[in-house]
A and B are shown apart, each in its own frame.
Chain A
Amino acid sequence: MKLKNRHLLGLEGVSKEDIGLILDTGQSFKEVLERPIKKVPPLQGKTIVNLFFESSTRTRISFELAERRLSADVVSFATAGSSVSKGETLKDTARNIEAMKIDMVVIRHSSPGAAHFLSRVVEANVINAGDGAHEHPTQALLDMMTLKAKYGSLEGVRVCIVGDILHSRVARSNIYGLITMGAKVSVCGPATLIPRGIEKLGVQVSHSLEDVIPHVDVLNVLRIQVERQQSGFFPSLREYHRYFGVTKEKVSKAAKPITIMHPGPINRDVELSADLADSEHSVILEQVTNGVAVRMAVLYLLGAA
C-alpha cells in the first residue's frame, strides 16, 4: 500500500484509491490518539521542517503534533510574508534546508504553486499546508475523514461549501477530493466571490442559502475575511451575515438535520451563528481531532517508506 506520488501538493488528480488509503490510515491513527501514550515510532530518525511563510497557528500545531506523535524530529520556521521580502528567495531557503539533510518539508505559503515549486528544487518529500488560494489538501482530507465517519461513505453525500470560494484553498481541495470520492458538491456565496468557470469543475453554483439548504446534507462554512470588504467583494459584514451567514433559523428549514463544518477559526455570528457552531450537528471539533490523525496518515504514508 503506497501513494502514487511522493509529495502531497494537492488533491486535484489524486486517485480514489489513494484518498481512500489516506482516510483509512487516518482512521487507524485515530486509535493511536486515544492511547495513554500517543506516540508511535515509524518516523524515528526522520527530520521534518515546517516552513510557514504565512501565519497559521492551528495548522502548524496540528502538523507538529502529528509529526511528534510519529517520533520525527521537528523544526518549525514561521515568518510572516514571503521570504523574498526578507531578501532570500524561496529557492535559496529550500536549498539551505536541503543542505541540512531534511527528509520532509511541510510548506504554507501565500503564492499558489509554492509547494510545487519547492518539490522541483528539493529532494525531500513536500507536503502542501496551503498555497495561496490554490489547495490545502490536508484540510480537505480531514473534512472528508469527518464526513466518512458520519455517513459511512462519501458516495452521494451532498456537500455545499458556503462563502468566499474565490480566495479559498479549502474550497478547491474539497471540491477536487469530494468529487473524486463520489460526493455531490455545490458552492454558495455572493457572485463576486464565486470564481469564473467553477461549474466546469463539476460543482453547482448558487447565490441563495435558502435554495441550497433543502437539498444538502452538509454545509462546510468558510471563514470570511473582513479585508475583502475593502476590495469591493461585498458591502458589509452585516449584509453578508444576513444573506450568507449560516444560522439556526436558516438550517431549520431542512428536512433532515444538516451537518455543520468549518475549517476555523470561526468569526462567530458572521459566517456562522454561535449557537449553531456549538450545536450537536456541528462536527467542528471532530474536524480538529481528525486533522492530527489524517496528517499522521499522510506523513506516515509519504515518509515511512
Chain B
Amino acid sequence: MKQTKVIDTVGFRRTVDRLAHEVVEKNKGAEDIVVVGIRTRGDYLAHRIARKIEEIEGKAVKVGRLDITLYRDDLRGRLDQPQLKSTEILFDIAGRVLVLVDDVLFTGRTIRSALNALMDLGRPATIQLLVLVDRGHRELPIKADFVGKNVPTSQKQEIKVSMSEADGEDAVYLIEKDD
C-alpha cells in the first residue's frame, strides 16, 4: 500500500480559510448562513468553516451535524450496518442559506442521502455544497459549490482525510490500493 500526501497541515489550514472566504464572498456576508456537516469528518470540517466565517464576519454562525444513516441507499445487503448516530441541528433551517459540508465528494450518493434528510427537517432557502476534496466518479448529477482541492483519482485509489479531532493531524492522502 502506497500513500501520497496531497494536502499537508499548512495546506489544510489554508484551504479551510479559503473555503470560508469563498462562502462569505458568494453570499455577500454571513447573514442567513447556517453550516451543517455530515458525520463524522464533515462535521469537524463544518465547525472549522463556521469558526472561520465568524472570525471573518465577527458574527456567530450556527452549526449542526447530520447523520445520514437512515437515508442511505445501500443499507440493504450490507453485512455490517453503520452505527446510527443522532442528527443534532438545534435550529430551524427553514429559509436559511444552508452550507452542507463533507470531506470527500465521490459518487454523490452520500450527498443525495443528506439532501433527503435535510428536506425532512425543513425547507432551506438554498443549499450549497462545500467539500474538502472532489475525487470525481460521480454517479448522480451533483456538483459542489465550494471545492478545497480537485484530486483526479482512479477507482483503485482511495482518499483518506485525517483531521486532528480524530486522527491526530490535518492532512489528505491519496492511497493506492493493492490488487
Contacts and interface: CB of A to CB of B under 8 A. Distances in A.
Interface of A: 1-2, 21, 24-25, 27-29, 31-32, 35-37, 39-42, 297, 300-301, 304-305
Contact of A37 (B72, B79, B120): B120
26 contacts: A1-B83, A2-B80, A2-B81, A24-B84, A27-B86, A28-B84, A31-B86, A31-B88, A32-B70, A32-B87, A35-B121, A36-B122, A40-B71, A40-B117, A42-B69, A42-B70, A42-B75, A297-B84, A300-B70, A301-B81, A304-B75, A304-B81, A305-B75, A305-B76, A305-B79, A305-B81
B116 interface: yes
B81 A1 contact: yes
B138 interface: no
Contact of B76 (A28, A29, A304): A304
Given A39-B120, A301-B81, A28 B67 contact: yes
A32 B85 CA distance: 11
A35 B90 CA distance: 10
B135 to A, nearest CB: 27
A25 B84 contact: yes
A245 to B, nearest CB: 39
A72 B177 CA distance: 39
Given A28-B85, A35-B121, 16 more contacts: A2-B81, A24-B84, A25-B84, A31-B87, A31-B88, A35-B120, A36-B121, A37-B121, A39-B120, A40-B120, A41-B71, A42-B69, A42-B70, A42-B75, A297-B84, A300-B70
A29 B72 CA distance: 16
A266 B81 CA distance: 38
Contacts of A28: 67, 84-86
A12 B70 CA distance: 29
B78 interface: yes
Interface string B55-96: 000000000000101111001111111111111100000000
Contacts of A2: 79-81
Contact of B84 (A37, A39, A300, A305): A300
A152 B37 CA distance: 27
Contacts of A29: 84
A41 B69 CA distance: 10
**Of B116, B120, B121, most A-chain CB atoms within 10 Å:** B120
B51 to A, nearest CB: 24
Contacts of A301: 81
A122 B71 CA distance: 29
Contacts of A40: 70-71, 117, 120
- Of all A-B residue pairs in the complex, the 10 with the closest CB atoms, nearest first, are A40-B70, A37-B120, A1-B83, A31-B86, A28-B84, A42-B70, A28-B86, A304-B75, A25-B84, A1-B81
A36 B67 CA distance: 17
Nearest to B87: A31
B20 to A, nearest CB: 28
Contacts of A21: 83
A262 B95 CA distance: 43
Nearest to B88: A31
A36 B94 CA distance: 11
A1 B82 contact: yes
Contacts of B69: 42
A39 to B, nearest CB: 7
B87 to A, nearest CB: 6
A269 B88 CA distance: 41
